[in-house]
Amino acid sequence: AQSVSQHNHHVILSEAASLELGCNYSYGGTVNLFWYVQYPGQHLQLLLKYFSGDPLVKGIKGFEAEFIKSKFSFNLRKPSVQWSDTAEYFCAVLQPTLGRLYFGRGTQLTVWP
């Protein structure tokens, strides 16, 4: 079965600090990769996705992620975080032929103003 690892359970940053959240997955075949964000009390929203092409993907709100196939990684980055980025971030991997979306355990990001 596919597994998705998010390295950090809780990250605390000050505003304007740079962010990098790690994500690694186990499946060696073709995958689609996602980062979802869940703001407090809300549902999951898509932040960005990678299906094919340029491995550097840009999403909403200044987030980006880089797919490194050789490392089975899809790390999320933002050069300067804001207080409003406080949320839980989930990495997810989809095996396109199976339909199952495998989620990491999530990383809680807290940004202090």
Partner 1 sequence: DAGVIQSPRHEVTEMGQEVTLRCKPISGHNSLFWYRQTMMRGLELLIYFNNNVPIDDSGMPEDRFSAKMPNASFSTLKIQPSEPRDSAVYFCASSFRPSELYNEQFFGPGTRLTVL
Helix (H) or strand (E) holding 66: strand 64-68
Asked if residue 44 binds partner 1 (CB under 8 A), the reply is yes
Asked if residue 27 binds partner 1 (CB under 8 A), the reply is no
Binding to partner 1 (CB under 8 A): which residues in 73-92?
90
Asked if residue 11 binds partner 1 (CB under 8 A), the reply is no
Alpha helices (runs of H) in 14-101, residue ranges in sequence order: none
Among 53, 54, 70, 97, binds partner 1 (CB under 8 A): 97
C-alpha 101/C-alpha 43 separation (Å) is 16
C-alpha 46/C-alpha 71 separation (Å) is 23
Question: Which residues sit at the interface with partner 1, rule CB under 8 A?
Answer: 32, 34, 36, 42-46, 49, 90, 94, 96-106
